Amino acid sequence: MPEQAPTTMSNIDAGRVTSRAGRRLKAPEWGALLLFLLAEIVFFSFNSPYFLTWPNGVNIVTALSITGILAAGGTILLIAGQFDLSVGSGTAFVALSFALAAQSLGIIPAVGIALLVGVGIGVLNGFLVTVVGVNALITTLGTLAIFRGLTLSIGGASSVRVTGFDWAIARPFFDIPMSAIVFLLIALVVAVVLSRTIFGRTIYAIGANENAARLVGIRTKRTLFFAFVISGLCMAATGLVSASQLGSTSGTTGVGLELAVVTAIILGGTSLKGGTGSMFGTILGLLIVGVLNNGMTLMNINSTWQQVAAGMLLILAVSFDQIRQRFIRS
Amino acid sequence: MTEQSFLSVRGIRKSFGPVKVLHGVDLDLPRGSVTALLGENGAGKSTFVRILAGDHQPDAGTIAIEGVETSFRTVVQSRDAGIRLIAQEIADAPTLSVAENIALGALPSRFGFVDRHAMREVARKALDALGADIAVDAPVSSLRLGERQIIEIARATAGASQCLIFDEPTAALSDAETRRLFTLIKRMQEAGVAILYITHRLDEVFAIADRVCVLRDGKVSLNAAIAEVDQAQVVTAMVGHAVASDHYRYEFVSKGADPLLEVAQLGSEHFEDVDLTVEPGEIVGLYGKIGSGVPEFAAALFGAGQFDSGTLRLGGEAVKFGHPAEAIAKGIGYLPADRASEGLLRTRTVAENLAAPSWTRLANGPFVAPGIEANTFKKWHSVLKVRSRPDGSEQISTLSGGNQQKVLLGRWLEAGSKLLVLVEPTRGVDVGARQEIYAVLRDLAQQGHGILIASSDYEDITEAATSAAVMVRGRVVAHLTQDQISTERLTQAAGGGAHA
């Protein structure tokens, strides 16, 4: 099958059908996400008078800023057909490196070290995937374990305090904290990079067909390596945000973030196969989960149930998409 | 003629969503006859045979087996009626052995366990009938494409079939394999099997079929005994109008210009001692069947493959590319053999696919301005006669094979490549679009491009090339001037060394 040209009748027919219907359904496909988000908002506004207020809106965005920063890097990777599962433990390891360095060297050198550690994790992942050729899922599953283990063994059981580094909770404009502003800026940059730059084009091209991308002159490995480094940079950012928000860091910082990140990206319409997706979609995905969690908290629903809801939401969204595609085909 | 038909279908209709694929197809398959089914891509051939195989259900119409009306809701029901489809896409289980693949779906068993001895016996017999020398215990993944196609055929012919449907079976086969397949088909025909044979190749139709049926736009546009029609009639029935096959010749006369490409003694594990030059304005055809090393040689020129010995000169300068990007920078464009796996950026737009190698030039620093790709595409839309929106805003996967190929060719025109290395430029491209592609190539040569066509389809060479070389098992066995190029010379040269 892989060696065969795609020109059998049925493929072409199916292609025509999906595309024609796809054209019609393109807008509603995004619309579906938006609609769902609106439905959530309407539902929770009726259930809590506090829900539809400016401070609560700020809360929602602030709560998803760490997940969002990582999802920005993750969107680039998933569009290129790659994964990074090491983002949660990477965040914890960056935060610990920063906290320890800050105690002995001071804040400014420690920020530099945090950036180096984040980039280092990205370089390691990128090296293993593009130079050694280990599958990204396995590579980052391995580095997930390694950096979680390192964080726990170096940091010990207790948390490490960070003092004099509370910039992320400062609220310079409209009562919005810096952590949310950093997220929004990074999301904006990634959105522009993906839709308006050569680098973004090459990311989509690699995700669409890595072979073909190489044959139009794209340095595919170099590009993928760089995408992993971007993900590492995002970990550096989230490590710093996390340490600043909490004023400390511990072995459990960032546990499970990788799942929240992947959930948001896929919910936002990026295909696991790569080649499609956008930062705007990811933001919608983040908001859908974020609003759900926030609303449930306001309704006094236990946070453990929020996990159940987020998991069901992901499966529902993807099943819905599968069913819709099958419906279009037949 | 219909009273003795094994299979007889009437008024088959099928739509996929809003798209009507078949509108009322009638066909009879008599026992002991070979019916060729032709039609351009999109005419409905594959949908039609999938209905016969029970893979799709018709919206209307009847299927009768020996006069008894029936319906196939599953592939198993169709197979139980004696119908076997040898699909174009290979659907094997690569990790299983040859014998297991041939027996797939009908594993011989004893006491509920697979009878491995009987299974290997069945496989060996089926392969012997095809004259194929393939070890039955080898894993299928270790075979080459043509051999895997033979396994598919062996699986269908191993059982007692009443009706065999071949969907372009020879696309991946060598000459010798094709001849053996034809012998097998003749034997099946003599044994009273009803055979439906889908192909793009008119020479095959006239070689083995006794009836020909042409589908156009989901309807039968020609259904006749082979003796009653000639090639031109068949082509007209396929495309709906007469195709100018005046064999317009583009004559190339060397002006003694410095060659764009000079290859001397090039060698690798796939080819050796290949010498070749391409001058501006020249279209060099390099002909070779599977295993000839032609595609590997072409890939090595572009840095998509390797060469170990010899020299490669571009415009006089000795080069060796480690990555296609280096070749592109030196003015080479490359059309890969397999559009799906090496050419198309499937999820992206037509315009983006065309602009891809030129992004750096079109961009403003790192930024690609919105609309610049659409504007770039507009330039080539009419030049290449691409049937798409003028701004190329739809996904490339929605275009037909021929139009996709034009877009992939357009890539290198926009990139300003002087030397075009085209591997299998018309594979999976239908008759009308083929001629358009040849016309574009002649125009490009006239404008001073140098073109190398590396192909296993002799029509590419006879229609477009101004000189040709034939490769067999990695070596050039013949050089032909434009006047010497003919189907006979090419196949003779390619066959001569291969099975000697």
Q: Is the pLDDT of residue A231 over 90?
A: yes
Q: Which positions in chain A touch B341 (Cβ < 8 Å)?
A: 2-3, 209, 211-212
Across the A/B interface, how many CB contacts are shorter than 8 Å? Answer: 163
pLDDT score for A329: 55
Let me know: does B346 contact B396? Beta carbons within 8 Å. Answer: yes
pLDDT score for A158: 81
Which residues span the domain enclosing A76? 65-255
Q: Is the pLDDT of residue A66 over 80?
A: yes
Let me know: does B16 contact A327? Beta carbons within 8 Å. Answer: no
pLDDT digits (tens, 9 = 90+) for B96-139: 888 888 887 777 777 788 888 888 888 888 888 877 788 888 88
If you search the block for the tokens 């807008």, which residue do you land on?
Answer: A27
Q: Is the pLDDT of residue A318 over 80?
A: no
The answer to the question of residue A80 being in a domain is yes
pLDDT digits (tens, 9 = 90+) for B307-319: 999 999 998 899 9
User: What is the greatest pairwise CA distance in chain B?
Assistant: 77
pLDDT digits (tens, 9 = 90+) for B168-222: 887 777 777 788 888 888 988 888 899 999 887 778 888 899 999 998 888 888 8
Question: What distances in angstroms separate CA B148 from CA A164, B53, B127, B157, B337, one per listed residue?
Answer: 68, 21, 12, 14, 18
Tokens at residue B454, please? 């590396």
The answer to the question of residue A283 being in a domain is no
pLDDT score for A283: 94
The answer to the question of residue A232 being in a domain is yes
Return the minimum-mean-pLDDT range out of A106-120, A239-253, B17-31, B183-197.
Answer: B17-31
Closest CA to A288 of A27, A35, A99, A79: A35
Q: Give the pLDDT mean for B477-491.
A: 85
Q: Give the pLDDT mean for B48-71.
A: 88
Q: Does A7 touch chain B (CB under 8 A)?
A: yes
Record: contact B345-A14, CB cut-off 8 A: no
Q: Torsions phi, psi of B273, nearest 5?
A: 50, 45
Q: Is the pLDDT of residue A22 over 80?
A: no
Q: For residue A54, give how far its alpha carbon lies from the nearest alpha carbon of chain B (Å).
A: 35
pLDDT score for A110: 93
Q: Given A5, A16, A217, which is nearest B338 (Cβ)?
A: A5
Q: Given A13, A21, A209, which is nearest B21 (Cβ)?
A: A13
The answer to the question of residue A108 being in a domain is yes
Provide the domain count of chain A. 1
Q: For residue B256, give how far its alpha carbon lies from the nearest alpha carbon of chain A (Å).
A: 31
Q: Is the pLDDT of residue B344 over 90?
A: yes
* Secondary structure of B275-316 as H, E, C letters: EEEECCCCEEEEECCCCCCHHHHHHHHCCCCCCCEEEEEECC
Instruction: For an interface test with B, give the residue of A216, A222, A271, A276 to mutate (most B CBs within 10 A).
Output: A216
pLDDT score for B4: 66
Banded model confidence at residue B365, pLDDT cuts 50, 70, 90: confident
Record: contact A13-B338, CB cut-off 8 A: no
C-alpha R_g of chain A: 21
Q: For residue A6, give how far its alpha carbon lies from the nearest alpha carbon of chain B (Å).
A: 6
Q: Which positions in chain B touch A202 (Cβ < 8 Å)?
A: 359
Q: Which positions in chain A touch B167 (Cβ < 8 Å)?
A: 8
Residues whose CB is less than 8 angstroms from the CB of residue B72 and which lie 6 or more positions away in sequence, other chains included: B51, B52, B53, B54, B57, B63, B78, B81, B83
Q: Which positions in chain B touch A23 (Cβ < 8 Å)?
A: 394
Q: Is the pLDDT of residue B487 over 70?
A: yes
Record: contact B346-A275, CB cut-off 8 A: yes
Which residues 169-208 in chain A show a CB within 8 A of chain B? Answer: 196-202, 204-205, 207-208
Q: Does A326 touch chain B (CB under 8 A)?
A: no
Q: Which chain A residue has its CA at the smallest distance from B51's CA?
A: A10
If you search the block for the tokens 């010990």, which residue do you land on?
Answer: A156
Mean per-residue pLDDT over chain A, rounded = 86
pLDDT score for A2: 38
pLDDT digits (tens, 9 = 90+) for B34-48: 999 988 766 788 889
pLDDT score for B41: 66
Return the minimum-mean-pLDDT range out of A313-322, B153-162, B337-346.
Answer: A313-322
Dist CA B224 CA B5 (whole Å): 15
Q: Is the pLDDT of residue A32 over 80?
A: no
More confident residue, A79 or A159: A79
Dist CA A39 CA A46 (whole Å): 11
pLDDT score for A23: 41
Q: Is the pLDDT of residue A184 over 90?
A: yes
Dist CA A245 CA A300 (whole Å): 24
pLDDT digits (tens, 9 = 90+) for B376-416: 999 899 888 888 888 988 889 888 888 899 999 999 999 99
pLDDT score for A19: 41
Phi-psi region of B293 (alpha: psi -120 to 50; beta: other; left: phi over 0): left
Q: Is the pLDDT of residue B82 over 70?
A: yes
The answer to the question of residue A175 being in a domain is yes
pLDDT digits (tens, 9 = 90+) for B256-299: 788 899 999 999 989 999 999 999 999 999 998 777 889 999 99
The answer to the question of residue A105 being in a domain is yes
pLDDT score for B294: 92
Q: Give the pLDDT mean for A179-201.
A: 95
pLDDT score for A45: 92
Q: Does A276 touch chain B (CB under 8 A)?
A: yes
